[in-house]
Structure 1
Amino acid sequence: MKEKFWKLIYRIIFLPLFFAGVSLGAFFNSKIRAGMRARKNWDQKLIKDLARFDRSDKLIWFHSSSLGEFEQAKPIIESLKSKGKYIILVTFFSPSGYENSLRYTSADVVAYIPLDTGKNALRFYEITKPSFAVIMRYDIWPNHVWVAAENNVPVFLVDATMRDKTAKKNIITRSFHRSLYGKMARILTISESDLKNFRYFGTDPSRLIKIGDTRFDRVYERSRVAKTKNLINSEITAGKLITVAGSTWEEDEEVLVPVIKKLLEYHSDLLFILVPHEPTVYHIEKLEADFRGVTQTIRFSHLNNYRNEQVIIVDSIGILLTLYSYCDIAFVGGSFKSNVHNVLEAAVYGVPVIYGPKINNSQEVGNLTGSGGGFIVRDQKQMYRLFSRLITNSAYRSETGKKAGDFVVTQIGATQIIVDEMLKIMEGRSSESRSA
């Protein structure tokens, strides 16, 4: 009875409000407009894309909100591909996720998830006939979940997180979320605290498993490939103590650049590689101006003309993970702006990781700090003192770097647990079909 009530409320109240908001937003936001345009005739595009495949093979549907969440799905997809012949369908809500994943070779079909009407969700199921559905982290669209469950399609919520003070727990929406989570075959959480928060909704304990975060698996595998790439000539790095500052914004650089200038006054063997999050011409030129009169800088694209500059400014994208492999110390940006970027990409190389105070968006940052491999600095003074200690005390640098590397390596393995759970259910259903 409650489920019918919430379906009605969702369909006649929430969805019209949501669609009105999306339509209004499309006037002001180009990404929303692009997403709306791309969804026209979505069903015909999907039929055409799937026509290339033998539909006797099982189709596994992965859904992610955007590119960041999809990175967590990749190790699962690649593991499944190595174990059997599956059609992998990947959907996104956002244009950035869709556009940046079209060349991902382990996905057979990449598409937008249709807007979450009951009619669209049913049409999506009729076209795709998935054997399994995997939703990454949080981007749950109720009508799609309800239709999948009604058609006996197992739905996994993977890398699931839930904060202690989530609005989902309030008295009005708690019952709605309880009915929705009850449709999941498994809710696989990142941490024990996430598991505890999902228990609040009365989810069957046998369907709740704490498995960790597939980001650890993903970053570890990517780092192994990255180490084989030769981006910087060894003549440039030889004898240098290298710091890579990754994904920096102007707010980060306002703290970092004065510290670098001061450190360069006392240490001639330092090399700083600055990797702006958005390497626009303005941003690159501003960084060059910040150092003018203090030290020579060189752009990454001009390294063929390297003349012992101590500051390299990276003017390209997509190479940060590999650049971290060269460093002895890492600084991760976004942490003086609003949200820290990915600390695992640096920590995986076994180096101490420094970041500012804006870290509430990242659960793993608190854990990395607690492990002794990561450090929060709140101002220039703290940053200078920490850098000085790490630069002058090699034993301390090695000790904290090892803790950072161990933090990543000891948490690898979530992918295998997820795939095992999926195969267990799929093989069980295949056995039931054969016996029937």
Structure 2
Amino acid sequence: MLIYRIVIILIRIALWISYPFSASNRRFLKGRKGVFRKLKKFSETRNPRQPVYWFHCASLGEFEQGRPLMEAMKAENPKLQIVLTFFSPSGYEVRKNYVVADLVCYLPLDGKRNAERFLEYVRPKAAFFVKYEFWYGYLSVLKQKNIPSVSVSTLLRNNAAPFRWYGGFYRNMLRKVTYFFPQDQNTVNLLKEIGIEQVKLAGDTRFDRVADICKHTARNELVAAFKDESQAMIIGSSWPADMEVLLPFMKEMVEEIKLIIAPHNIEEEELERIENELPYKTVRYSKAKKGTISNYRVLIIDNVGMLTSLYRYGEYAYVGGAFGKSLHNILEPATFGMPIFFGDKSYRHVNEANALLKRGVAFTVGDNKELRDKFKRFLNNKEERLKVAEECRSYVQENTGATKLITAYIAQKK
């Protein structure tokens, strides 16, 4: 425990040292400056007769896993109150106005004092930690106060710290969690191997989220006009390393299909680079006009938040990130049904990527030639493409239901 406290102190020091040099760390620290004022105001204005549920997410990906639960609980009781916290600026900045939550804020840095103060203001009936967010101070104080803590869509790896010889501290931390709802059987097995029995396999709540998106995505008249009668490839969350593979492919194939590009980075420099590299008419979404948009071959999405709904307009998808740190969300294109392509480096830790590869509906690519060759398999074979599309949709539907299982558990504890 002493070592953990020292680590937290060192993190604080490192954040302040990096303050002048890191925009992300500046947002991280500035956002936390007024967090207790926000929590105090919430405490003073909340309805004391209605329960509060606290959800904590590291960032956007975890938010998408917690979102189905928050929305299901709010739909059942619109008067209950939800406090949503984020660890990272990238999650908070995008979802700070999330309407389902009664309060959205940063999570104060871990430690007994911060945890006690936070919980005194929030007074949650239960706390939900999404995927693999575990904080010793918060879990310890929750346990002391007899407030249930629930880990949802839990995903743990064999080589994670709790399962190593030096992992006693981490094992002790996991044992403070009241109940686990893991994504996969491997996580169930790992938890039981260290003596944790309060576990039930639930699956990944993101399947419920993307299935719901598929049912309720509104038509985008501008994008529909751009696509017109053409086939389209949606390029989602692309990074420069992805574009190195994609640009030669796009130059060769843009006469065959239309392209909708949603880069991970929408800074002006990146958008201009894409535009300058392509010898075709491109248009940015923010500047497009419905009457003329169909004249363009390439539509560049220069905003955040649209990508999920864009996949409904695609016959093919390329998802970025796998040439860097990690593959981005491939469940979104899967739910709309289409062949999915991604880089051949950082994807093996992504369960759904491995499952879709095994089913023969997703495809890794190492270079432009491999992408072109695998894509051409479907370009002139509609029957094969539709078969893949149906298999993608089936995969998503087969794995829904985690939200219902977890909300049933919550109902039992009321």
Report TM bin, short chain.
over 0.9
Give the 5 Å matches for 1:141-156: 141-156=135-150
Moved more, 210-219 or 300-309: 300-309
Confirm or deny that 1:308 pairs with 2:289: no
- Displacement after TM superposition at 1:88 (Å): 0.8
Q: Which ranges in structure 2 are unaligned for 5 or more consecutive residues? A: none
The answer for the alignment partner of 1:422 in structure 2 is 410
Give the 5 Å matches for 1:286-297: 286-292=273-279, 295-297=280-282
Give the whole-Å Cα distance in 2 for the aligned partners of 1:280 and 1:21.
27
Give the whole-Å Cα distance in 1 for the aligned partners of 2:266 and 2:26.
25
The answer for the alignment partner of 1:327 in structure 2 is 314
Deviations 1:215-238 (A, max 9, x none): 11112222333243333244x434
The letter for the 2-side match of 1:224 is K
- Displacement after TM superposition at 1:291 (Å): 2.2
Give the 5 Å matches for 1:236-251: 236-251=226-241
Q: Which ranges in structure 1 are unaligned for 5 or more consecutive residues? A: 1-6, 428-436
Matched residues, number: 410
Normalising by structure 2, report the TM-score.
0.92
Q: Is the 8 A contact 1:263 1:388 kept in 2?
A: no
The answer for the alignment partner of 1:4 in structure 2 is none
Task: State the percentage of identical aligned residues.
Answer: 31
- Displacement after TM superposition at 1:142 (Å): 0.7
Confirm or deny that 1:391 pairs with 2:379: yes
Confirm or deny that 1:223 pairs with 2:210: no
Give the whole-Å Cα distance in 2 for the aligned partners of 1:192 and 1:27.
44
The answer for the alignment partner of 1:189 in structure 2 is 182
Q: Is the 8 A contact 2:211 2:335 kept in 1?
A: yes
The answer for the alignment partner of 1:97 in structure 2 is 91
Give the whole-Å Cα distance in 2 for the aligned partners of 1:104 and 1:337.
29
- Displacement after TM superposition at 1:313 (Å): 2.8
The answer for the alignment partner of 1:31 in structure 2 is 24
Q: Is the 8 A contact 1:190 1:213 kept in 2?
A: yes
Q: 1:100 to 1:287 in 2, by over 3 A?
A: closer
The letter for the 2-side match of 1:228 is R
User: Secondary structure at 2:200's aligned position in 1?
Assistant: strand
Q: 1:372 to 1:32 in 2, by over 3 A?
A: same
Deviations 1:294-320 (A, max 9, x none): x43333333442363333333333221
Aligned counterpart for 2:327 among listed residues 336, 340, 343: 340
Moved more, 371-380 or 304-313: 304-313
The letter for the 2-side match of 1:393 is N
The answer for the alignment partner of 2:66 in structure 1 is 73
Confirm or deny that 1:263 pairs with 2:253: yes
Normalising by structure 1, report the TM-score.
0.88
Q: Is the 8 A contact 1:178 1:202 kept in 2?
A: no
- Displacement after TM superposition at 1:97 (Å): 2.4
The letter for the 1-side match of 2:283 is I
Q: 1:357 to 1:27 in 2, by over 3 A?
A: same
Give the whole-Å Cα distance in 2 for the aligned partners of 1:65 and 1:380.
34
User: Secondary structure at 1:246's aligned position in 2?
Assistant: strand
The answer for the alignment partner of 1:3 in structure 2 is none
Q: 1:147 to 1:184 in 2, by over 3 A?
A: same
The answer for the alignment partner of 1:18 in structure 2 is 11
Give the whole-Å Cα distance in 1 for the aligned partners of 2:274 and 2:25.
32
The answer for the alignment partner of 1:108 in structure 2 is 102
- Displacement after TM superposition at 1:47 (Å): 1.6
The answer for the alignment partner of 1:46 in structure 2 is 39
Give the whole-Å Cα distance in 2 for the aligned partners of 1:54 and 1:284.
46
Q: Is the 8 A contact 1:134 1:155 kept in 2?
A: yes
Q: 1:49 to 1:302 in 2, by over 3 A?
A: same
Give the whole-Å Cα distance in 1 for the aligned partners of 2:227 and 2:109.
51
CA RMSD of aligned residues (A): 2.1
Give the whole-Å Cα distance in 2 for the aligned partners of 1:114 and 1:346.
35
Q: Is the 8 A contact 1:223 1:321 kept in 2?
A: no
Q: Is the 8 A contact 2:231 2:258 kept in 1?
A: yes
Give the 5 Å matches for 1:193-204: 193-203=186-196
